[in-house]
Every structure is written in C-alpha cells, then in structure tokens.
Amino acid sequence: MKIDIISVVPDLLQSPFAHSILKRAKDKGLLEVNVINLRDHTTYARAQVDDYAFGGGAGMVMMIEPLVNAIESLQATTTYDEVIYLTPDGETFNQKMANGFSLKNNLLMICGHYKGIDQRFRDHFVTREISIGDYVLSGGEIAAAVLVDAIGRLIPGVLNDETSALTDSFQDNLLAPPVYTRPEEFRGWKVPDILLSGNHKLIEEWRVEQSLQRTKERRPDILD
Ligand code: 6GU
C-alpha cells in the first residue's frame, strides 16, 4: 500500500512511521509513506498557501490552487482509492474504517491547518472526510499519523502471530481483556489462577467474560 500525505508542516510526519510495526511494514515493502510539502506546489509569492476568508472572520483558509497543483501532480502517476481530508468536522474514525482502508492500494491524505481548506477543494477532490475525535488539533498531521498507524498495522502480512490484530480491542466490538506476564507474583499481587491453569478452554471463557465486563463498564455504547 502507498499512502501519500499533503502537509504544510512535513517535518511533523518524519518520525512517527520510522519505528516498530510501521517500520517493519516499510522494510517488508508492504507500506510506503510519502509526505508532500504543499509549499512546493504553490505559485504564489513567498510560498503562500493560505489567505483571508471571504466574508471576514478570524483565521486563514488554505487556498484551492496549491492543493489542486499538488493533487494533480500526484494523480499523474497514482490513482487513489480514497482522497481523505482530515478535519474535526469529518466522520469519526473507528476500527471498522481502519479495516476497510487497510485493503486499499493507494490513499491520499490532506492535512488541514488554520480554519481549514477552501470548500471547493472538498467538493471536487475529497472522497472521505475524517476526524479522530471530538476535540480540536492545531492541524491534520497528527490525525493523519493516527490513521496511518491504525491502517498500516492491519495491512495483510504486516502483523505476525505475536502481534496479531485478531485480539485487539474493538476488533469484535469488545474491549480487550486484561493481560499479565512474569512474574506470577509481584509485591503480593498475583496473576489470576485461571491463566496459570493450562486449561485453554476455561482461559478463553475467562477472557471473553472479562472483555464483556470491561466493555459494559467502560464502553456500553459499543455493545450490540
Ligand atoms: Cl482530523 N483535524 C484537526 N485539526 N483536529 C481534529 C481532527 C482532525 N480530529 C479531531 N480533531
């Protein structure tokens, strides 16, 4: 999969994909992430990419022309399955969306700044508008990094048995159960006996029960 990201602060996106599972995905050739500097595509003086809003009001708006220059130069060589605009007024991102995107070949993400981007770009080029939650970030970059991480680890072949996505929270609409590792006892705090029993059927039942209980307590909204 290739993910291209258009940004006015490309430096923000240098480190997040260079570690751990996403690094492995890149090293295996399963994921390629390219960050495109929007300022390389403006024809305005001093690499200007934003201007005052028509109608007045505080805050700048990202101009359509640099965005169209950028996307059209990318589209000359890549056909995108989705053009995703990261914006707090988008659809809230969730695991189901991550699963869907992980099966695509080419994604383009547009990071907004200031008061957002000219509506005409949204109308004519964007296919999905996504938010990562009900709070406001200073730009779309960190949201894009969240999507790349959540999507990248689900690309077929990226995870192995040890890191399997099948037992993740949300994968079956339940939160994940508690987990423990060595030592069996620390400061008198013991690992639940059942996990040491070697009885895989009982352990699985315990985990499902714990998942259900945790979901009821913390996220009753996601229970069917
Ligand atoms: Cl995608 N962008 C910004 N700027 N703020 C956000 C967001 C996105 N999602 C939640 N807050």
- Residue ranges covered by each domain of the chain: 2-152, 167-223
- Distance (angstroms) between ligand 1 centre and the Cα of 134 equals 8
**pLDDT at residue number 163:** 72
CATH topology of domain 2-152: Alpha/beta knot (3.40.1280)
Tens-digit pLDDT profile for residues 183-214: 999 999 999 999 999 999 999 999 999 999 99
Half-sphere exposure of 206 (CA within 13 A, CB side): 14
**pLDDT at residue number 91:** 98
Distance of alpha carbon 101 from alpha carbon 64, whole angstroms: 26
Ligand 1: residues within 6 Å at CB?
A: 86-88, 131-133, 135-137, 139-140, 143
- Distance (angstroms) between ligand 1 centre and the Cα of 6 equals 15
Same CATH fold, 167-223 and 2-152? Answer: no
Closest atom, ligand 1, to C-alpha of 93:
9
**pLDDT at residue number 4:** 98
User: Which CATH number does 167-223 carry?
Assistant: 1.10.1270.20
Tens-digit pLDDT profile for residues 76-134: 999 999 999 999 999 999 999 999 999 999 999 999 987 999 999 999 999 999 999 99
Whether residue 67 is predicted with pLDDT greater than 90 in this model: the reply is: yes
- Distance (angstroms) between ligand 1 centre and the Cα of 145 equals 11
